[in-house]
Amino acid sequence: MRILGIETSCDETGAAVVLDGRMVLSHALASSVAIHQKYGGVVPEQAAREQLKAIIPVTHETLITANLLSRPPAIDAIAVTIGPGLIGSLLVGIETAKTLAWIWDKPLIPVNHLLAHFYAAWLAPTPPQFPAVGLLVSGGHTDLILIENHGVWKYLGGTRDDAAGEAFDKIARLLGLPYPGGPALEQLAKLGDPKRVELPSPMYKSETLDFSFSGLKTAVIRLLAKERQPLDHGRKTAIAAAVQNAIVRVLVEKTLRAVLEYRPISLVVAGGVAANTFLKEQLRERTKQVPFKIHLFVPPPQLCTDNAVMIATCAYYLNTPLPFDTVHAIPNLSLRNG
């Protein structure tokens, strides 16, 4: 089954064709990140305008690369992100997908972007097995779920305020780093000694599987206010390393707590922050020490951040087409509300 996936939830415009949820026949991605960089964050209206320009060329390029030149193309369904995301951005993808589904007479499969992030792991040579604990760490979400089967999951916990990616981005901005802050902060952190700066790991000790990251941002604001002179490179790297440590420490601790409680066969980590090498290393170390066998899945970096491959893959496994007059954008869709 060949599925054309379309992703436009934030500042990327992605299209991909995936065969049987396993083989990527083609994928294309246009990003408007360079435009947002000068503002230090995504400007929603600008993102949607860029997506309007990019959606047809990106979809066209994907079909050509997959050698699907006939009209209608030899695909079996169209999958599209319906949320969460920016309303203007979501509408560009959804309206395009609906139009193509209608004129080509193809089923339309709506996809939850957050669930789809996990499906990047289903492209591994041997996919994850159920039950799986899933940690989603993206720009807007930090969630722990127990995935019992395709499309069946239990919500275990999540952030009460800022997401981990958001904390990386906001703190990176305080340090004068470019948007998106996660990758820039990671590079700086590699050069620093985290022990030179003391920062809190909020909710590290709390019994719940919830997270909180806004206190860390406040702690960095206070720390910077106390600095007597402009940050030199050495000080900046130490702060970056301490921030990364504080975030990763609590992510790993809560994830391992969920693993020990639910004893899954697989642990799947997904979303942009899963591209972070330190997080991966720490999870690898800690999962080795678990008293039962657990397989850790972290997709390659280009599949951790937003892309359309994960949308097509997720749609293959869920296989839940809907009549297109019932498919709408849901900007606040989450893993709590389905």
Q: How far is CA 206 from CA 85, 149, 152, 217, 228, in A?
A: 30, 29, 27, 19, 34
Least distance to ligand KG4 from the beta carbon of 268, Å?
Answer: 14
The DSSP H or E segment spanning 104 is helix 87-104
- Tell whether residue 306 is a contact of Zn ion (CB under 5 A): yes
Q: Could you say which residues in the range 252-271 bind ligand KG4, by CB under 6 A?
A: 271
Among 62, 96, 138, 212, binds Zn ion (CB under 5 A): 138
Q: How many residues does this entry show for the chain? A: 338
Rule CB under 6 A: is residue 272 a binding residue for ligand KG4? yes
Give the strand pairing for 23-31 and 77-83: unpaired
Residue 306 interacts with ligand KG4 (CB under 6 A)? yes
CB-based contacts of 83, cutoff 8 Å, min separation 6: 9, 90, 112, 113, 329, 330, 331, 332, 333
Q: Between residue 5 and residue 64, which ones bind ligand KG4 under the rule CB under 6 A?
A: 10
The region of 65-73, 132-140, 212-220, 291-299 touching ligand KG4 under the rule CB under 6 A is 132-140
Judged by CB under 6 A, which stretch of 21-29, 101-109, 181-189, 259-267 contacts ligand KG4?
181-189
Residue 117 falls in which region: left (phi positive, over 0), alpha (psi -120 to 50) or beta: alpha
- Local structure of 295: helix, strand or coil: strand
Query: Which one among 5, 128, 180, 202 touches ligand KG4, defined by CB under 6 A?
Result: 180
**With contact defined as beta carbons under 8 Å apart, do 10 and 306 qualify?**
yes
Is residue 143 at the binding interface for Zn ion, with CB under 5 A as the rule? Answer: no
165 scored as a contact of ligand KG4 (CB under 6 A): yes
Least distance from ligand KG4 to the Cβ atom of residue 169, Å: 5
CA 303 to chain centre: 9
Residues that bind ligand KG4 (CB under 6 A): 10, 138-140, 165, 168-169, 180-183, 186, 271-273, 275-276, 305-306
